[in-house]
Amino acid sequence: MIAPMARARIVGPKSVAPRVVSAVHKLGFFHLTIPREDPLLERSKSLTSLSIESENKKLQLAESLLADIMEALSRLPSAASTSVPDACEIKDDDEWLSEAHGGQLGRVVREILEITRDYADLEAEIKEVRLYRDLFEEFEPLLAKVGAFRGMEISGVTLSSGYADVFEDMKRTLEEVTSGACAVFKGKEEERGLAALLLYPESFSGDVKRRVLGNKVRQVKPPDKYERGSFASTLKALFMREREIDSEIKRIRSRLEELANGYLAPLAMAADALKRIMGPLRTQDSVAGSDMSFWFSGWVPEADLARLKKTLDDEFGGSVVLYSKKPSRAEYSSTPVKLVNRRWARPFERLIQLYSPPVYGTVDPTAVFAVTGPLFFGLMLGDIGYALFLLAIAWGLKRFIPRDPLSSDLSGIAVNCALWTAFFGVVFGEFFGGVSAWTPLIHRKEDAITFLAMMIALGGAHLCLGSLIGAYSEMRLGSMKKAIEKLADFAFIASLFIAGWGGWAGYGTPFVLLPLVPLAVRVAVAGVSEGGLEAPRILSNILSYSRLMAIGLASVILADMARDIYGASEWAIIGVAGAVSIHAINFVMGVYAPAIQAVRLHYVEFFGRFYTAGGAPYSPLKSN
C-alpha cells in the first residue's frame, strides 16, 4: 500500500536552524522539498533562501577534508590490522571534523598525500628505466673489459641477423678509419643479433659515425635525461637510477602499509562522520529564512508525525513549531510515494520502483504482483526439479551475499517463484520432465488445448481484477466517469467469457450478444472513438496470456527430450552428459523467459487497466 503522507512545515528562530536541520536528518524520514515547491512558501515574498556564513564555511571545510581523506584512502593498501589508535577513539562528528582538520588524522592525511605525490611518476619512470635496462644490460659485461682510457670514445652497437659477416666488415672498416687504433668487444650471440662495444679515439668520432655506423650497424643511445657524457657513464647512471627509484618505491610502500595498519579504519570513520556533517549543511539551500526566522517544508509519513513533533518539543522547548496537513488532490502528483507492504511482498517493491512509482492517491499493486507474478512464473516453468534448483539459487544469494539489498530481494522473489513452480510441478506431474509416479491433474503436452483455454480464462480474470482496481482508484480520485469506464471494461471481459460458455453450451444468440451491453455503456461514457477501440484492445490483451501455455509447453518438451536422450544412449556417460546439458539450457531459458513474460503481462496488460505511473519517489533526509 501507499503510506499516507502529510505536508509538514517547521518554523523557528534562525539561530537554531542548523540544529533543527541536523535533528531532522537523524530522524531519517523527512522528505524535504525546495521552497518553490511549497505553494505557501512560494507566495511568501519576505522569505529567501537561508544562508548562514559560519555554516557555509563549515561545509566548505568538510568538503575539502572529505576530498583529501578519500584521496588518501584510495592510495592506502589493504590493512592487515583494523585497530583504532587511542587518540582517534572519537564519537562526536564535530570531533572527527576537528581531528581531520588539525589533529593527528589531519597530519596522517597530509603525509599520505605528500609521500605519494610523485608515486605515479616514480612507477612510470622505473618502467621506462627497466625497459632500457633490459636493452642495455648485455653491455655491462663488455664495459667491464674496456677499463678506463683517456681520450677514447665508447659506442654501443647492435648488429642485425646475419651478423657474422656484418661484424667482420664493421671491424675492418673501423680499423681502416682509425688506422688500427681501436678495439672491438663482442657480446653474446643471440638469435635477434649481436651487441658490441667499439673503443676508438675521440678524434675519429665523426668518421666512425659516417663510415662504420649505418643500417646494419645501429648505435644504441640511452635517453637524453640519463646522458652523462660517455656511453659507460650514461649506462652506469641509468642502472643507479633504477636502484634509487626501486629503493624509494619500497620505502613509500612500507610507510603506506604502516599507516594503513594504524589509520585505515579511523580514516574511514572520519569520512563517514564528514558525510553526516555535510548532509544537514547542504540542506540549507532548501531552507527559507528571514532576518529572524527560518522555515522549511516537506513531507512526512503520517505515522511519523507524532515522533517528529516530540523530537522538536524535547530538543527545542517549544521555540520550534510544526505545522502539518494532508495533501490536496492538486498536490498528489508532487507528493512523494512511500510503499509499505508486508514482508513477503516487500521484495516485489523493487519491480514496482523499476517500472515507476504509482502516483500518490492511486493504488499500489505490489501485494497483487507478489502473488500473480510468481503464479504465472510457476505455470510456465512448472517442474519440481527446476524448483529445487531455483531454491538453491535463492539460498546461495541469501548465504553468500547476505547484506546486499538487491540480492536479498532477488532471493525473496526466487523463493516465491520456486514454491509456485513446485506446486504446478505436482499438478502437471513433472520432475525434470514428465513422470509416471503419479497421475497429473493436467498433462500439458497431451491436454494442450485445455491448458490454453485455462490460460486465456486466467488472463481474463487477471484483467477483470485490474479493471476493478482501476474503478476503485478512480473513485478515490473523485473521477466517477472514469470509474464507470473501468466497471464497463470489467463487465465486458466477464460477459465475453459468459458468451463463450453460452455459445459452447448451445444457449444461442442472447448470450453471444451479451458483451454489447457493457460496450454500449463504454461508448456512451467515453465516446465512440475511445470506447469502440477499447474492445479490440481488451481482446488482444486477453489473447496475450496464451504465452503462458506456449512457453510452458516448450519447457516440458525440452525436459522430456533430455529424459529421452538419457534413456536412448548406449553409453551412460554420454546419456548423462547430454541430459545434463539440455536440462541446464532448459533451466536457464525456463527461468529467463517466464520471468520476462510474467513481468511483461503485469507491466503492459494488467497495469494498463488501472496503474497511474509517474509518482514522486520518497527520498527522506538521512544521516549517512
How far, in Å, CA of 239 to CA of 232, rounded? 11
What is the CA angle 152-158-162, rounded to 5?
A: 130
More confident position, 578 or 263 = 263
Q: Are residues 165 and 29 in the same domain?
A: no
Q: Are residues 379 and 516 in the same domain?
A: yes
* Residue 375 clears pLDDT 90, i.e. is over it: yes
How far, in Å, CA of 81 to CA of 21, rounded? 37
How far, in Å, CA of 311 to CA of 307, rounded? 6
Q: Are residues 528 and 391 in the same domain?
A: yes
pLDDT band at 468 (very low <50, low <70, confident <90, very high): very high
Which regions of 140-258 does DSSP assign to beta strands (E)?
Answer: 152-159, 183-186, 194-201, 217-220
* Residue 430 clears pLDDT 90, i.e. is over it: no
Q: Are residues 155 and 90 in the same domain?
A: no
Least confident piece of the model among 159-173, 240-254, 314-328: 159-173
Residue 400 within a domain: yes
Q: Are residues 485 and 598 in the same domain?
A: yes
How far, in Å, CA of 283 to CA of 280, rounded? 5
Least confident piece of the model among 44-48, 139-143, 525-529: 44-48
Q: Quick one: pLDDT at residue 231?
A: 63
Residue 615 within a domain: no
Residue 267: all three cell numbers together = 580514516
| Whether pTM exceeds 0.85 | no
More confident position, 435 or 385 = 385
* Residue 243 clears pLDDT 80, i.e. is over it: yes
Of 242, 275, 299, the residue that ends a domain is: 242
Residue 153: all three cell numbers together = 670514445
Q: Are residues 427 and 490 in the same domain?
A: yes
CA-wise closest residue to 549 among 476, 454, 436, 480: 454
One-letter amino acid of 40: L
List the 152-159 sheet strands across, edge first.
Answer: 183-186, 194-201, 152-159, 217-220
How far, in Å, CA of 496 to CA of 514, rounded? 8
Domain that residue 527 falls in: 346-435+447-609
Residue 502 within a domain: yes
CA-wise closest residue to 225 among 245, 203, 205: 245
* Residue 368 clears pLDDT 80, i.e. is over it: yes
**What is the SS3 assignment for 118?**
coil
How much of the chain exceeds pLDDT 70, in percent? 81
Residue 338 within a domain: no
Residue 317 within a domain: yes
DSSP 359: P
The predicted model gives 562-589 an average pLDDT of 68
Residue 621 within a domain: no
Domain total in the chain = 3
Burial class of residue 588, CB neighbours in 10 A (0-12, 13-18, 19+): exposed
Q: Quick one: pLDDT at residue 162?
A: 67
How far, in Å, CA of 292 to CA of 225, rounded? 66
Residue 295: all three cell numbers together = 522555515
Q: Quick one: pLDDT at residue 90?
A: 61
How far, in Å, CA of 389 to CA of 405, rounded? 22
The predicted model gives 339-348 an average pLDDT of 90
Q: Are residues 360 and 212 in the same domain?
A: no
Check if the beta carbon of residue 425 is closer than 8 Å to that of residue 384.
Answer: yes
Of 280, 308, 332, the residue that ends a domain is: 332
* Residue 164 clears pLDDT 80, i.e. is over it: no
CA 254, distance to chain mean position in Å, is 34
Least confident piece of the model among 168-182, 400-414, 568-582: 568-582
Give one DSSP letter per residue of 519-561, joined into a string: HHHHHHHH-HHHHHHHHHHHHHHHHHTTHHHHHHHHHHHHHHH
* Residue 402 clears pLDDT 60, i.e. is over it: yes
What sign results for the dihedral spanned by CA atoms 111, 112, 113, 116?
positive
Q: Quick one: pLDDT at residue 307?
A: 92
Least confident piece of the model among 155-164, 171-180, 304-313, 326-335: 155-164
Q: What digits encode the pLDDT tens for the residues 116-145?
A: 887 778 887 777 777 666 556 656 665 665
How far, in Å, CA of 171 to CA of 198, rounded? 9
Burial class of residue 561, CB neighbours in 10 A (0-12, 13-18, 19+): middle
Residue 164 within a domain: yes
* Residue 543 clears pLDDT 70, i.e. is over it: yes
Q: Are residues 99 and 134 in the same domain?
A: no
Of 286, 303, 332, the residue that ends a domain is: 332
Q: Quick one: pLDDT at residue 36?
A: 66
Residue 442 within a domain: no
Q: Are residues 35 and 174 in the same domain?
A: no
**What residue has cell string 652523462?**
228
pLDDT band at 300 (very low <50, low <70, confident <90, very high): very high
Instruction: Give the mean pLDDT of the chain.
Output: 80
Q: Are residues 351 and 469 in the same domain?
A: yes
More confident position, 338 or 235 = 338
Q: Are residues 352 and 327 in the same domain?
A: no
Total residue length of the chain: 624
The torsion angles phi and psi of 320, rounded to 5 degrees, stand at -115, 130
Q: Are residues 462 and 532 in the same domain?
A: yes
Residue 188 belongs to domain with CATH number: 3.30.70.2750
